[in-house]
Amino acid sequence: MEAIFALAIGVLTGSGVWLLLRPRTFQVIMGLALLSYAVNLFIFGMGRLVTDKPPIINQEGAIDPSLYADPVPQALVLTAIVISFATTALFLVVLLAARGFTGTDHVDGREPDA
């Protein structure tokens, strides 16, 4: 499970960084989206990968922490998802505005001289 998880983060980050460095605004926004997925998975992974363990503590009896998953990274991921979703949406609006103003989808607002 760890290997697949690590590979997923690696592939997402690699593709994200590559797209982020491309000259077209749409590629940049896709790169940012992929990077945000990678980062969210990474935060989640920092709570250790476990199966069949609930994050919410059942209050009956004595509590053994090893039976529970760490709830904090899950809460952090939730916050990070909301924030990156909102800012990516805002970026999309700016992207469209820039397309409207400059007539090109190049990040510099003009086509490079051929």
Partner 1 sequence: MIAWLQHLQVVPVVTPLLVGALILLIPDRYEVRATLAVGSVLVQLAAALTLLYLTTDSMPHMWQEGVGVYNIGAWPAPFGIVLVVDRFTAMMLTLTSLVGLASLIYSLASWDRVAPGFHSMFQFLLMGLNGAFLTGDLFNLFVFFEVLLASSYGLLLHGSGPSRVKSGLHYIAVNLTASFLFLIGVAMIYGMTGTLNMADLAVRITLLDPDDRSLFEAGAAILGIAFLVKAGIWPLNFWLPTAYSTASAPVAAVFALLTKVGVYAVIRVGTLLASADEQTSFIDEGLFYGGAATVTYGVIGMFAAQQLSRLVSYSVAASSGLLLMALGLRNEELTAPLLFYLASSVLAAAAFYMLNGLTERMRLFSVPNDADLAPLPDVTYVGFGVKEPPDPHSPDDEVGIAIPAAMAFLGMSFVCCVLLVAGLPPLSGFIAKFAMMHVVITTPMDTPETWYEWLFVAAVLTTGLAAVIALTRIGLRLFWSVTGRTTPRLRLIEVGPVAFLIVLCLGLTIGAGPTMTYLESAARSLHAPEVYIRLVHSQSAVEVTP
Residues in contact with partner 1 by CB under 8 A are 20, 25, 28, 32, 35-36, 39, 42-43, 45-48, 72-73, 76, 79-80, 83-84, 86-88, 90-91, 94-95, 97-98, 101-102, 107-109
Task: Find the shortest distance in angstroms from Cβ 65 to partner 1.
Answer: 11
Task: Find the shortest distance in angstroms from Cβ 76 to partner 1.
Answer: 6
H-helix or E-strand containing 84? helix 71-102
Q: Give ∠ CA 53-56-57 in degrees, rounded to 5.
A: 95
Task: Find the shortest distance in angstroms from Cβ 27 to partner 1.
Answer: 11
DSSP class per residue in 21-51: TSSBHHHHHHHHHHHHHHHHHHHHHTT---S
Nearer to partner 1 among residue 7 and residue 94 (C-beta): 94
Nearer to partner 1 among residue 7 and residue 82 (C-beta): 82
Nearer to partner 1 among residue 7 and residue 87 (C-beta): 87
Q: What is the CA radius of gyration of the chain?
A: 20
Give the C-alpha distances (Å, rounded to integers) separating 111 from 20, 29, 106: 18, 18, 6
